[in-house]
Structures are given as structure tokens and as C-alpha cells.
Amino acid sequence: MRLSPVTARGDSPLSSGSSSPVASAGRAEAWAGVRDALTTVVPSIVAYGIVWGGLARQAGLSLGELVAMCLLVTAGTAQFVALPMIQSGAPAWLLVVTTYIVNLRHYLMAASLAPHFAHLSRGRLALLAHGVTDESYALTMARYAEHPPHPAYYAGSAATTYLAWYVGATAGGILGGRIPDPHRYGLDFVFPAVFIAILARTIQARWQWAVAAVATVVALAVKATLGGTWHIALAGLGASALGIWLAPAAGARGPEAGGGRAR
């Protein structure tokens, strides 16, 4: 995709007060990100945020502390893992190391997004990096498979998912211990179901199915043998290595390239 001089300098793709085609495209992409997030992942994020907020209060966090954690961390899985450790009085270094391991997948997500954002300034990259989550990443990569990549789409989806988690967690914190066990109602399957629906749109070529199959097998095998959250990092690393090996050369076309609709 050829970048305009305005975007190439790292100026915001959502600049207000401008009616140029670049600004109009940025606004359209941002709203597309908001719309896609609202209609796919936001309900599940809010539901699980409510559950986390209730558990956080039960673990001894004040409403202000859980709100601050959501604003500064914004990593649902790591926040769930951290709660029992906080409740049991685990040392801070162990808490940091454990949540770091859980979030190793963020390196992989950020690395695959980086080429699309290479023209942005470091300040804007740092801001966008804070919004990298499983949901915003999945939505963005699905969009980029079918449309020209635009950072505004990611910004819109990331901001929406960020706000959804914040609102859900705050509501859960206010409700406190009146939150039921999510497993009782099958809420623990909400996130996997959403991601399966998103990824089903992007996996088209045989090599992509092979990568998905290997990631599934590795994750299940590691979970069964090692337990914990190692299956997330190891399956991600293994599938990424296989994807690099199997992926067609840059610029390839046709159904086996898996590049989405022809443009």
C-alpha cells in the first residue's frame, strides 16, 4: 500500500479538522474497527470483565486498585492468573515473572503488526502497543487479510476492546462477590468461540490450516503434560516458526497464498 506524505510522516490517521481523502479514510477505518469490535468480541469481554472484577474484590483489591490495574495492564488472562497469587501473598517478583510468561504471545502479535505500522512515530507506536490484545489483534489481522491495512482500524478496535474490559471490570468490582462462577454458565468458552469465529474467516490456504492444526496439537499436548500457561507461548512459537517456513513468498497470488480476496 502506498502511503500519502501526511501518513508517512507519522501524523495521526484520525486527524480532525481535515476533509482530505486521507482523513476521511482514517475515520472510516476507525469506525469500522469500533463496529466490528462491538458486534463480535465486546459482549464476551464485558461478561468476563464483570467476572474478573468480582473476583478481584474477593481477592482483596479495592475498587480503585482494580480500576488502576485494568487501565495500566489490560491483559485479561494475566490479570486472572495474578488474582490468586495476590490473594496468597506471593512475592512481587514471582507475580511479574508469571504474568510475563503468560503474555509472551504479545511479542508474536506485535511483531506481525509491526510492518503495517512502520511509518508511524515512536510515540504513536507506544500508544498503539498498549492496546495489543488477543481480540484487537484477531480483528485487525482478519481485516487486513481482506482490505488494505490501515492503523486507524486497529486503533478503533483496540480502543473499543480496552473500554469494554474497563467497563466490565468496574461493574464487576461494584457488584463484588455477587458474581457467579463463570464455568457454571459456560462463560469460559465464550472467548475461544469468538476467536474461532474470527479466525475461520482468515484461514483459507492449506498451509494456514496446517499451521492452525499444529498450534492446536501443540497447545493441547503441552497443557496436558506441563500444565500452567506454557501451552500459550510454546504453541504460538511453534506455529509461528512453521508459518514462516510454509508461507508463500511475498507477493504470491492465488488461493494458496491465503491473502484474502483479490484486490
pLDDT tens sequence across 108-161 = 899 989 999 999 999 999 999 989 998 899 899 989 988 999 999 999 999 999
Single-letter code of the amino acid located at 10: G
Distance between CA 178 and CA 100 in Å, rounded? 30
- Residues for the chain: how many in total? 263
Q: How far apart are CA 71 and CA 165, in angstroms?
A: 9
**pLDDT, position 177:** 61
Please name the residue ranges forming H helices in 2-104.
Answer: 5-8, 21-40, 42-58, 63-72, 76-87, 92-102
In this predicted structure, the answer to whether residue 13 has a pLDDT above a threshold of 60 is no
Determine the distance from the C-alpha atom of residue 218 to the mean position of all C-alpha atoms in its chain, rounded to a whole number.
21
Check whether 190 has a pLDDT greater than 90: no
Residue 206 has a pLDDT of 86
Measured distance CA(168)–CA(52) in Å, rounded: 8
What percentage of the chain has pLDDT greater than the value 90?
28
Whether 7 and 22 have beta carbons less than 8 Å apart is answered as yes
188 — pLDDT class (breaks 50, 70, 90): low
pLDDT at 146: 87
pLDDT reported for residue 7: 44
What was the pLDDT predicted at 192? Answer: 72
Q: Does pLDDT of 243 surpass 60? A: yes
Give the per-residue pLDDT at 78: 86
pLDDT digits (tens, 9 = 90+) for 196-237: 776 776 777 888 889 889 988 998 998 888 877 677 778 878
Residue type at 8 in one-letter notation: A
When pLDDT is cut at 50, 70 and 90, the band that residue 3 belongs to is: very low
d(CA 217, CA 196): 15
Residue 49: which of 76, 18, 26 has the closest Cα? 76
The CA–CA distances, whole Å, from 21 to 34, 111, 152, 257 equal 20, 29, 14, 30
- Nine-digit cell at 177? 462477590
User: Who has greater pLDDT, 54 or 155?
Assistant: 155
- pLDDT higher than 70, residue 16: no
Q: 164: closest CA among 85, 225, 76?
A: 76
CB contact at 8 A, 191 and 48: yes
Chain CA centroid to CA 95, Å: 21
Cα distance between residue 232 and residue 167, in whole Å: 26
- Which pLDDT tens digit goes with each residue over 251-263? 454 555 554 443 3
Q: Which three cell numbers stand for residue 80?
A: 486472572
* Whole-number pLDDT of residue 181: 64
Cell output for 117 = 505500522
Could you tell me which residue, 4 or 35, shows the higher pLDDT?
35
* Over residues 2-10, mean pLDDT: 43
The model's confidence at residue 186, banded by pLDDT at 50, 70 and 90, is low
